[in-house]
Structure 1
């Protein structure tokens, strides 16, 4: 087959990076890995692209460097940069397999004669195509889109990882990619090399870190045919990180300013066993499925559940399971390879989906003191602090219900109002709940805690007593501000005034029950 175009990912610039000074840089695979110790990180145009690029590059690093055990990991950590000779030898050996438009074996692609050509917009979750609404970019399937080779490479890697289950136009259906459900947790170091290593588990992995490994394990580009045999279980972690969920084939063409990609064929391919646990995801216990990946909630920031991410159990079959990458870091701290006093950061990347439709994708960040991975008492303190924040949020809603009842229902008595609430009809409850939602008090409460929690989770690992006192003071302040906001939506008559007074009284009661008494200042 005659090859008209070429774009080799090993040496062409296509990975969006951030330098140490914050300036952007688009680099090749070779340069990204060679300069990783000088780079701040990778920043794709969307959270799924960012996560997918990390996992793709991790597959290369695992293939070249392992690490086989704690000592091997420690040696990589202590080295200033990656061994360029080892990297270059590998990239040079497999360089032909990284050409996006190779005539025989285009990177991450395969023809599918069952499928008709369609717009490349179908690979992107942030564009309107099929069932997907427009999220950020306002291209639509009817409009089509034009991709540069660099854009096409990024979209292709993300599309394989984040593909959604659904109809394909033929009997065989599309299935979810390995990243489509749950949150991908990425631990961030002080530079990109550290970030990669902090997410590199032992390789070959044991069952605690990844449940499958065979002698056939290799990344997709090394396989003669990554779709054969048709399988639900990967050969191992490298096969999993480069899992070919779609048969995609780009149709490159010459544009006015260079090579462009507008159309492709895309058909369903490998379907993975969803019971296999991803090392970068957090799982909650489930009686039926045993483990279910925790997902981002549109109305709930993930830090509110952060204590569970650090809760490790001996019997992993019956309990929630934090990311295996966290488990590996815990082992490194216990082996004195890493210091528990070190502070890193955690990125949580995920999306909300249903019936082949993406509702949102989001990235959240959280400080990660390594002390939480090895200090169970510290995690318990964090869990208690978060529980008090959640309880206070419930109390705020109860306070607002009391205020709403006193405003809207003249027969309500101060005493026993909770029982009276249970006896209200649907319309009365709906009216009061609508008023509560209109005030936005609960949203305001949680929003006011976002930034303080970032400091609290760090301070708690340093000085528990001082950090908890500051956190409880912040909870009081946030609750009072939320109540004051609700008060702005109350009328000016006597009944409304009574509602405010009784609401304040009830909140004060709950604050004093829930939190330590405020210290009096002289």
Structure 2
């Protein structure tokens, strides 16, 4: 009825700008003509890339054996005739495994899957943003009583999302699942991506994106042996036997097994309607559980936290998750953490971004290459049984910033730290003014602190700075001029926020309040401390103002008067 190899189901954008759904075959064989997949939200895009496109790409074409071979593929800009034939041959060989409603082996599902009570649930169960069961998002008029249906094409997308991101805790027991108790299975973890902070590098075309997500020459067999798995590494659709309702806990056999991990047993229930085939009901039960977190070499799409002395029974490397509500550039220190031994404990970037830096340093990527980095993740609540928030961002990252000894890297990290430093200075100003009127500073996790207002205003200038560093990576003078302009913008935005904080201060803050025997907090002291902090952080702007004969870090109004 619907076969993902040749039926159009993937929303895609052509380089010329047009959008349409394409088949898996078209998406891969004509990847050089596509700008990318036009799929939202980012968590859905990452699921499709990891669970289908990348595993097919790797399985059909293999990994580049060296960075020189990777560069040759990149410079070609698309598949050559031999690679096109290999992809077609692979897709033809495994085509029957991509049938969405096959009665024997439906794609990423279990044929005939039933619950012990013979019940099905609304297909909205697959969509975290739609109210169903215990998962009730705020600010939605949709309830579980509403009818919800999907086309087969959309159902295929959200099927993949559930395999990657589904919530944890209790799941309905399958009819023949011997591990189910009283019709339920407990202790289910989230889908594998729910435990990561996904980082997915993107290029100018889908072809380049696929290459940027291709590690040079991994040894899948060795990875499986290292994990203690006695089988060859392959994607789920190449399993010798179709999946059943039974599940097990085991380590991943390697990267392909990790990418296509079957964390749930699912069956889509198609119905014939006046508008064609639709999916209104679904069965979702427990699936395989990872016995251990994959190593970085088998899980290239996340950053890591490294500990030289981990707690007993814990690995030294743990996936680093994103924080919803934060712009991706606030995590630049982790995105660019290249994992040198002398760095000790702390963040390590993903294997793929590490490789991008290596490719840049060896001349395999143009110095001004417009790399984009997609970051996404879900925040779970209440025993990870519900979705509370989502994180998703797309950030321009200069490839030179991923080279350990580059000046661009130093300046990118400096710019991010300057923004954070000004944020702390503004929050410090607010805290000192509150003390001056006899109140306690706002707790870090409560209320709206002025630093957050400032960070929202800084977002666009930061992205412009990163784009400028991409474009002018080899021009030190232009980059330094860009840093000067960046500091001027930060200075202006900082005073925009500081003025409102000072203007809203109570008149009693001018006289101040005593704290203890010797400390008195006054508005004038709070402002003076803020000015000094700003001068120290934005030293280029401070020097420029001194050279131009301006007041030392005053306001930027037409008369040059400082706020008081």
Structure 1 residue aligned with 2:326: 300
Contact 1:121-1:144 within 8 A present in 2 as well: no
Q: Determine the C-alpha separation between the residues in 1 that align with 2:390 and 2:70.
A: 33
Contact 2:188-2:286 within 8 A present in 1 as well: yes
Contact 2:215-2:352 within 8 A present in 1 as well: yes
Structure 2 residue aligned with 1:442: 451
Structure 2 residue aligned with 1:416: none
User: Residue 9 of structure 2 is aligned with which of 14, 24, 44?
Assistant: 14
Structure 2 residue aligned with 1:469: 484
Question: Is it true that 1:191 corresponds to 2:198 in the alignment?
Answer: no
Question: Is it true that 1:280 corresponds to 2:281 in the alignment?
Answer: no
Structure 2 residue aligned with 1:78: 75
**CA shift at 1:274, angstroms?**
4.5
Question: Is it true that 1:234 corresponds to 2:252 in the alignment?
Answer: yes
User: Residue 311 of structure 1 is aligned with which of 307, 322, 337?
Assistant: 337
Q: Determine the C-alpha separation between the residues in 1 that align with 2:265 and 2:497.
A: 51
Question: Is it true that 1:509 corresponds to 2:535 in the alignment?
Answer: no
Q: Scaled by the length of structure 2, what TM-score is found?
A: 0.80
**CA shift at 1:87, angstroms?**
1.5
What are the Cα deviations for residues 368-427 of structure 1, in whole angstroms up to 9, with x where unaligned? 221112233533443333333323222211211222233x33xxxxxxxxxxxxxxxxxx
Matches of residues 11-410 of structure 1 in structure 2 within 5 Å?
11-55=6-50, 56-70=52-66, 71-82=68-79, 83-110=83-110, 111-115=112-116, 116-134=119-137, 138-169=141-172, 170-205=184-219, 216-225=232-241, 230-276=248-294, 277=296, 278-286=299-307, 287-288=310-311, 289=314, 290-315=316-341, 319-354=346-381, 355=383, 356-378=385-407, 379-406=409-436, 408-409=437-438
Structure 1 residue aligned with 2:554: none
Q: Determine the C-alpha separation between the residues in 2 that align with 1:357 and 1:349.
A: 17
Q: Higher mean Cα deviation, 186-195 or 271-280?
A: 271-280
SS in structure 2 opposite 1:139? coil
Give the gaps of 5 or more residues in structure 1: 1-5, 410-427
Q: Determine the C-alpha separation between the residues in 2 that align with 1:103 and 1:229.
A: 20
For the aligned residue pairs, the C-alpha RMSD in angstroms reads 3.0
Over 6 Å off, 4+ runs: 206-211, 434-439, 496-499
SS in structure 2 opposite 1:238? helix
User: Residue 442 of structure 2 is aligned with which of 429, 433, 446?
Assistant: 433
Q: Higher mean Cα deviation, 496-505 or 478-487?
A: 496-505
SS in structure 2 opposite 1:143? coil
Q: Higher mean Cα deviation, 376-385 or 392-401?
A: 376-385
**CA shift at 1:231, angstroms?**
4.3
User: Residue 487 of structure 1 is aligned with which of 488, 497, 502?
Assistant: 502
What are the Cα deviations for residues 128-174 of structure 1, in whole angstroms up to 9, with x where unaligned? 12332226865333324211100110000111011222111413443
Q: Per the alignment, do residues 274 and 482 of structure 1 end up closer, same or farther by CA in structure 2, a change over 3 Å counting?
A: farther
SS in structure 2 opposite 1:519? helix
Q: Scaled by the length of structure 1, what TM-score is found?
A: 0.86
Q: Determine the C-alpha separation between the residues in 1 that align with 2:363 and 2:40.
A: 37
Contact 2:324-2:390 within 8 A present in 1 as well: no
Q: Higher mean Cα deviation, 135-144 or 271-280?
A: 135-144
SS in structure 1 opposite 2:195? coil
Structure 2 residue aligned with 1:417: none
Contact 2:220-2:233 within 8 A present in 1 as well: no
Q: Higher mean Cα deviation, 357-366 or 138-147?
A: 138-147
Q: Per the alignment, do residues 31 and 218 of structure 1 end up closer, same or farther by CA in structure 2, a change over 3 Å counting?
A: same
**CA shift at 1:187, angstroms?**
1.2
Contact 2:152-2:277 within 8 A present in 1 as well: yes
| Aligned length in residues | 495
SS in structure 1 opposite 2:374? strand
**CA shift at 1:446, angstroms?**
0.5
SS in structure 2 opposite 1:342? coil
Give the gaps of 5 or more residues in structure 2: 173-183, 513-521, 550-564
**CA shift at 1:27, angstroms?**
1.1
Q: Per the alignment, do residues 435 and 204 of structure 1 end up closer, same or farther by CA in structure 2, a change over 3 Å counting?
A: closer
Q: Determine the C-alpha separation between the residues in 1 that align with 2:460 and 2:104.
A: 52
